Amino acid sequence: MPKGSVAIGIIGAGIMGERLLTAILQQDPDLLHVCGIWDPAPAAMQRMAKAFPQVPRLADAAAIIAASDCVYVASPPASHLGHARAALAAGKSFFGEKPLAVDVADSRAFVAEAGSRGAINFPFASSPAVAEIRSWIDAGEIGTPRRIEIEVAFATWPRSWQADAAGWLDKPAQGGFTREVVSHFLFLSRRLGGALGELKGSASFPDDGKSERRIAATLRAGTVPLTLTGAVGQTPKDDHNIWMLEGDKGAVRLCDWSIAERRRPDGSWQRSPEALPNTQARPLALKRQLEGVVRLARGEPHHLATLAEAFDVQQIVEGILAG
């Protein structure tokens, strides 16, 4: 259990690996530091050498695990559990990208093996906007929860900034917006509402060999009914989303990842005066995520998404896609 600066090794040098690496480099090095990064793609390693020459580029995943206190796995989903098991077998903690994985049976076995030694990167666990929404709920502003609605829409899939990852991100085996985006909002529903279940869902795969283009589902978060819709080609925005919780006294919602709003008695929506666009809110959430990673590595209580929560989300995601 590390007592000084926590060494974080990164497996996967794609968008998310680079994003967390950048966030780590902005934190106090006495608290945590990057001990190395590895990606199987030579082009990715060359990009890391140019962009982050101060970060060690190690030979393989085993070298990352050996150097780390906590291993951050940011590779494609089908590889998550292999790296996670190797990290835990070496006595290291594991912080992984969502989704937990794509094979539900394998994930169930992994979660039973891993216990509390891992966590998943659902940044809503650290979101300032989500914290404000929770404070409104706790203050009784919505009354008794009655329903949750989730809407997600994309101009294209993958989103424009993800085009380089289309080789796996737009394939049905481990890609698609349900795993990549909807899972975040299912986690939020799980964290604020309760365990997910009673799923009835479906997904449309109109393009051969491509990921889904439309989904629809109903389920429950605890006792709260939840409806979910998602589609590609329904908005000019790269990414548009709304998560809403309505009660018998009022309603709150999260718009476009980071804008918290509450409904006035006249039906209009009032934006939080603290609201920030996602580009400004993301660094604040990542900083708090990393504070949680330090606690995870030290065996201390943390607020990050647990493996059990992530598995609950994964079951629903894969159920929708199978439907």
Q: Residue 1: inside a domain, yes or no?
A: no
> Which tokens go with 323?
């439907």
CA distances from 251 to 31, 35, 219 (A): 39, 45, 19
Q: Residue 290: inside a domain, yes or no?
A: yes
Number of structural domains, the chain? 2
Q: Count of alpha carbons within 13 Å of 10, Cβ hemisphere only?
A: 29
Question: Could you tell me the residue range of the domain that residue 134 belongs to?
Answer: 125-276+312-322
CATH number at residue 45: 3.40.50.720
* Whether residue 115 sits in one domain with residue 164: no
Candidates 243, 4, 252, 225; CA nearest to 136 is 252
CA distances from 89 to 80, 92, 93, 114, 199 (A): 14, 7, 9, 10, 34
Q: Count of alpha carbons within 13 Å of 194, Cβ hemisphere only?
A: 12
CATH number at residue 208: 3.30.360.10
pLDDT per residue rounded down to tens, the chain (323 residues): 677 999 999 999 999 999 999 999 999 999 999 999 999 999 999 999 999 999 999 999 999 999 999 999 999 999 999 999 999 999 999 999 999 999 999 999 999 999 899 999 999 999 999 999 999 999 999 999 999 999 999 999 999 999 888 999 999 999 999 999 999 999 999 999 999 999 999 999 999 999 999 999 999 999 999 999 999 998 888 899 999 999 999 999 999 999 999 999 899 999 999 999 999 999 999 999 999 999 999 999 999 999 999 999 999 999 999 98
Backbone angles phi, psi at 273, to 5 degrees: -65, -15
* Whether residue 175 sits in one domain with residue 270: yes
* Whether residue 204 sits in one domain with residue 102: no
* Whether residue 129 sits in one domain with residue 231: yes
Backbone angles phi, psi at 243, to 5 degrees: -115, 125
* Whether residue 271 sits in one domain with residue 129: yes
* Whether residue 199 sits in one domain with residue 147: yes
* Whether residue 225 sits in one domain with residue 134: yes
* Whether residue 134 sits in one domain with residue 70: no
* Whether residue 131 sits in one domain with residue 59: no
Candidates 302, 98, 318, 290; CA nearest to 187 is 98
Helix (H, G, I), strand (E, B) or coil at 57: strand
* Alpha-carbon dihedral 35, 41, 44, 50, rounded to 10 degrees: 80
